[in-house]
Amino acid sequence: MTGDLPAPHPAWLPDEAFRAIGSRRVLLRADGLLAQTVAHEVDRAAEQHGGSLHHQPARQAAPHPDGDDAEGDSGATDGSGAADEPRFDLVLALTGADDLPEPAVMVLAELDRRSGRDMLGAEGFALARRGGVTVVLADGPAGLLYGLFHVVRLGEAAFGATLPIEAHHPLTARRMLNHWDNIDPHPVMGQVERGYSGGSIFWRDGRLTPDLDRVRAYARLLASIGVNAVTVNNVNVHITEAHLLTDRLGDVAALAGVLRPYGIRTHLSIYFNSPVTLGGLPTADPLDPGVRAWWADTTRQVYAAIPDFGGFVVKADSEGQPGPFGYGRTHADGANTLAAALEPFGGVVHWRAFVYNHRQDWRDRTTDRARAAYDHFAPLDGQFAGNVILQVKYGPIDFQTREPVSPVIAAMPGTRLAVELQVTQEYTGQQRHVCYLGPLWHEVLAFEPWGDGRTVAAVAAGRGADNGATGFEGGLVAVSNVGDDPFWTGHPLAQANLYAFGRLAWNPHLDPAAVLDEWIDLTFTPAATADPGLLRQTLHEVMDDSWQTYESYTAPLGVGFMVRPGSHYGPDVDGYEYTPWGTYHFADRDGIGVDRTRATGTGFTGQYPQPWAQVYESAVSCPDELLLFFHHVPYTHVLHSGKTVVQHIYDTHFEGADRVDRLRSRWAGLAGLVAPDVDARVRERLDEQSRCAQEWRDQINTYFFRKSGIPDAAGRRIH
C-alpha cells in the first residue's frame, strides 16, 4: 500500500546524512531479513552518492569486484597489498562469516584477544578501521543494523585515520515505545491520548492506516536509535482496540510485518477483562481455569499469526481499567496468568505499576498518591513469574516536570523492572514549548537509589542486585510523541526527544548535550545550512537548558501539577486542588507543599532506602528542587540558595518568561539558515510558548502574592 499524505520530514535521517557511507564501496557479509534492511540502506545511499554495495551471504567466499575499482575508488585498500584482492572502504560482516577480507580478520582477532567478542551479544557490534578499511562486525544481523547507523552518525569520521577498536552493545536489552493510540478517536482524549502531533500513524478512520510507508519510515527512524519494541495501541484499552487481540489480529500482524525488518517486535496493550468482553466467559478472574485456558488459547493464536510477537502491556486497576482487584486477586495473580500464556512462546508481560486511587477525597490528608505504587507492589516482590516485567513510571506521581525517582525502583530486587519515561510532553509543554528532556532522563537514569553507585539504569538493565548479578533484566520504555504530523512530533525540535530516548536507552551514560549534537549534525546537515556553526550554537542555546526553563515558569520546587485539569496545558494553580485525583499543593496564607515525612506527614519518605529516606525527611537536607514535594513550609522558609520560597517563586517566574523571549529572539536570528517550513513551525511554537510562559508567570506570581501578602523584593509588576 502506498501513502496518501505528503512524505514526512526526514527527521534525523535525511539522504545527506548518508553521504559518507553512500560514497564508499561497501561489502556486506550477512543473510536474513535484517541484513536485507542493511543492504537496502546502503544501496539507497549508494544510489544517492555514487558508491556501491557488494552483498554476499555470510558463508561464501568474498567476491572479487572485477572492474569495480575503476569507478568510485576512494583509494582504499584492504591492507593486504595484493593487487587482485577485493577492495572495500567499509566491511559490514557477521563474525561467523567465512573468508573475510584481511582487515576484518585483523579486527576479529583483536576483538578475541581483548575478549570483547563475549560482550557483543545479539545486538552489539565492534567497529574499527584497519588498513584503510572501516570494519563493523557483529554476531547477529541486528548488530550490523545498529552498526550501520553508528557509521552514519560518525559520517566522515568513520573513514578517517585509524579508529581504535570499540565494542558497542546496548546496556538495556528492551528499549520500547508505547503508543497511546486509539483506533476510534476517544470523545475526550482524541485519537492519540496525550498526543500532540496529529492523528495516529497506525490507525485511520477506524482501520489500519493505508499509509504503511509512513510506518516503515518510522520503523527506520527507530532502528537508527536502537528502539526494538513497540506497542501499537493505548494502555487505556477501549472496546474497538480490545479486538486487536482476536478478530482484528490481522491488523497487528500487518504492522508487525512492517516493523520486523527494522528489528522491532510488536507488542499489544490488552484489556484485562477480555475473557468476558471478547471470550463471552462469565468472569475474567485470573485464577479461574477457564480464564487461564482462554488466555492460553488466544495467545497461541496470536503467535500463529505473529511468530515473533513481543507480548502484552497491561494497565490494570488503574483510572477505570479493570484488573485483578475486581476478582479479589493480587496483581501477581493477574500478571502471572498472562505470563503463563506467553511463556511457551518467549513473550513477556509488561505489567504497569501505575495503580492508585483516582477517586480520593481531597479532605483526607492521610491518603498519598505518591505512596500507592510502592504500597501495592513492594509486598509482591518475588511473586511475579520470570517473564513479567513490572513497568514503573520514573516518578511516584505522573511524569511531572520535577519528581523524585520512584521508590518502587529500589524496592523490588526479586522482580524484573522496566522504567517508564514520557517522550510525549504531556506535562512538559505538549510539544508547543521547547523542552529537551535528555537532561531529565539522564538525571533519572544516573540516580543512585542506594547512594552506592548502583543506578536506576543498572536496575533497568537487570544489574541492580547487590552482587551486580544479571537475570532480572527489565528495560526502558517511553510513551511515544509521534503522530501523523508532517514533522512527526508537532514541534520540530521535539524530534530531539525521541532521538534522545533511543540513544539513552541504548547507553544511559551518554551526555545529553552530546546526544543533542548528534541529533543536530544528522538533522541539520552542513550542506543544508549556510552557517552550521551559528545554527548549532543557537540550537544549544534554545534547547540545552529548556527543561529547567520550563520548570522555572511552571509549578515551583517539585510541587507539581498546577496545570489545567483535563488538558494538562497552561496554568491553573487550584485546578486540581479539590478534585479526587490526589494531586494537591495545600497552599494557604502561610505556606505550601505536601508533608510526606515520617515524622508528621504521609510517611512516604520511609519508602526510600538510606541515604534518601533521611535526605528527603529533613527540610534542611532535602534538595531545593524537591522541597515542596516532600515538605509543607512557610513562604518565608529559606532555601539553600539563600532565597525565601516566595522570592524564589517570583524570581524564577520572571526570569523563566524572560528567558523564553530571549530564546525566541535567538531563533529569529537564524532567518534563512533553516528550511522555511521548519522555521515557520518553530516560530509559531515559540510565539505560543512566550504567550503561555507569561500566563504562567502572571498567574503563579499573582496567586502567591495574594495568598501570602508578601511583596516581590524587586518590586516587579504582580497583578
Catalytic residues: 319, 398, 426
Q: How far apart are CA 376 and CA 379, in angstroms?
A: 7
The answer to whether residue 315 forms part of the interface with ligand GCV (CB under 6 A) is yes
Q: How far apart are CA 472 and CA 380, in angstroms?
A: 15
In the bound state with ligand GCV, the residue whose beta carbon lies nearer, of 195 and 263, is 195
Residue 558: left if φ>0, alpha if ψ -120 to 50, beta else—which one?
left
Give min distance, CB of 453 to ligand GCV, in A.
Answer: 31
Give min distance, CB of 211 to ligand GCV, in A.
Answer: 24
In the bound state with ligand GCV, the residue whose beta carbon lies nearer, of 4 and 319, is 319
For residues 13 and 262, the answer to whether their CB atoms sit within 8 Å is no
Give min distance, CB of 358 to ligand GCV, in A.
Answer: 8
- Cell numbers found for residue 36: 536485507
In the bound state with ligand GCV, the residue whose beta carbon lies nearer, of 140 and 404, is 404
Strands (E), 209-310: 229-231, 265-269
Q: What is the 3-state secondary structure (H, E, C) of 370-398?
A: HHHHHHHHHHHCCCCCCCEEEEEECCCCC
Query: Could you say which of 41, 139, 181, 193 contacts ligand GCV (CB under 6 A)?
Result: 193
The answer to whether residue 572 forms part of the interface with ligand GCV (CB under 6 A) is no
Q: How far apart are CA 23 and CA 71, in angstroms?
A: 11
Query: Could you say which of 88, 180, 550, 635 contacts ligand GCV (CB under 6 A)?
Result: 180
β-strands 190-192, 181-186: how paired?
A: antiparallel
In the bound state with ligand GCV, the residue whose beta carbon lies nearer, of 273 and 652, is 273
Q: Which strand (E) or helix (H) includes residue 417?
A: strand 416-422
Q: How far apart are CA 448 and CA 531, in angstroms?
A: 41
Q: How far apart are the first and last CA of the chain?
A: 57
Give min distance, CB of 425 to ligand GCV, in A.
Answer: 12
- Going by the DSSP 8-state scheme, the letter that residue 638 receives in this structure is B
Give min distance, CB of 149 to ligand GCV, in A.
Answer: 30
- Cell numbers found for residue 696: 504562567
**Strand, helix or coil for residue 147:** helix
Residues 514-533 that bind ligand GCV (CB under 6 A): none
Q: How far apart are CA 344 and CA 304, in angstroms?
A: 12
- 611 upstream amide cis, omega within 30 of 0: yes
219 by Cβ neighbours in 10 Å (0-12 / 13-18 / 19+) ranks as: buried
Q: Across the chain, which distance is largest between two alpha carbons, in Å?
A: 87
Residues 225-284 that bind ligand GCV (CB under 6 A): 235-236
In the bound state with ligand GCV, the residue whose beta carbon lies nearer, of 180 and 488, is 180
Q: How far apart are CA 600 and CA 690, in angstroms?
A: 40
In the bound state with ligand GCV, the residue whose beta carbon lies nearer, of 180 and 629, is 180
Give min distance, CB of 554 to ligand GCV, in A.
Answer: 16
In the bound state with ligand GCV, the residue whose beta carbon lies nearer, of 193 and 403, is 193
- Cell numbers found for residue 165: 577498536
**Strand, helix or coil for residue 265:** strand
In the bound state with ligand GCV, the residue whose beta carbon lies nearer, of 8 and 474, is 474
Q: How far apart are CA 272 and CA 317, in angstroms?
A: 9
Give min distance, CB of 193 to ligand GCV, in A.
Answer: 5
Q: Say how many residues touch ligand GCV, by CB under 6 A.
A: 8
- Tell the residue number behind the cell numbers 540516580, with chain if given: 447
Please report, as a single letter, which amino acid is at residue 23: S
Give min distance, CB of 357 to ligand GCV, in A.
Answer: 13
The answer to whether residue 444 forms part of the interface with ligand GCV (CB under 6 A) is no
345 by Cβ neighbours in 10 Å (0-12 / 13-18 / 19+) ranks as: middle
The answer to whether residue 354 forms part of the interface with ligand GCV (CB under 6 A) is yes
Range 346-375 burial, b when 16+ CB lie within 10 A, else e: ebbbbbbbbbbeeebebeeeeebbbbbbbe
The answer to whether residue 9 forms part of the interface with ligand GCV (CB under 6 A) is no
In the bound state with ligand GCV, the residue whose beta carbon lies nearer, of 194 and 697, is 194
- Tell the residue number behind the cell numbers 518502587, with chain if given: 408
Give min distance, CB of 618 to ligand GCV, in A.
Answer: 31
The answer to whether residue 181 forms part of the interface with ligand GCV (CB under 6 A) is no
The answer to whether residue 194 forms part of the interface with ligand GCV (CB under 6 A) is yes
**Strand, helix or coil for residue 641:** coil
Alpha-helical (H) ranges within 178-284 are: 212-225, 239-242, 249-259, 274-277
In the bound state with ligand GCV, the residue whose beta carbon lies nearer, of 209 and 236, is 236
Residues 67-126 that bind ligand GCV (CB under 6 A): none
Give min distance, CB of 581 to ligand GCV, in A.
Answer: 8
Q: Which residues of the shown chain bind ligand GCV in the complex (CB under 6 A)?
A: 180, 193-194, 235-236, 315, 354, 398
